[in-house]
Amino acid sequence: MSRLEQLITELTTEHTEQLKKVEDFKKRMEEGLTDELIEEILNFLKTEVENHALKEEEDLINEIEKVAPDFDTEAIIFGHNTLREAIEDLEATYEEYKKGKASEEKLKKFINQVFIILKDHFIEEENFLFPDLKKYDIEI
């Protein structure tokens, strides 16, 4: 198994694990939005999801450059930056919420928006990026 194939397998597994956590967060949000839950969601996004993004930006792109130097990796970074901006918007909305300047519904909307962006990004990688990469890696 090549390093690229190994990375793709690891990243796909992480996608599945992270999407399970997102579904759990959604169920818990239906029971009620608490500061503890919001902090847990933000922590998940800023640690687990961010570490996953860094793994792709550093390790995956490094491997892509070895096997396919002409492959356009900007889509990966663009997707991550879009997600990071959405997380920043969520954090700002949470600060407004704590001050009574944003409703719970608005906060839920921003949380769900981040979850949708995350899921869409994973789908794009698994259905388009990863299969395209496998064509370049002759060991796969």
By the 8 A CB rule, do 45 and 87 touch? yes
Q: Retrieve residue 138's tokens.
A: 């002759």
Picking from 33, 80, 26, the residue whose alpha carbon sits closest to that of residue 55 is 80
Q: Report the half-sphere exposure of 64 (CA within 13 A, side-chain side).
A: 20
**Segment 19-33 mean pLDDT:** 97
Q: Rounded CA gap, 120 and 82, in Å?
A: 11
Whether residue 122 has pLDDT greater than 70: yes
Q: For residue 92, name the pLDDT band (cuts at 50, 70, 90).
A: very high
Residue 140's pLDDT is what?
A: 44
Q: Rounded CA gap, 27 and 13, in Å?
A: 22
By the 8 A CB rule, do 38 and 94 touch? yes
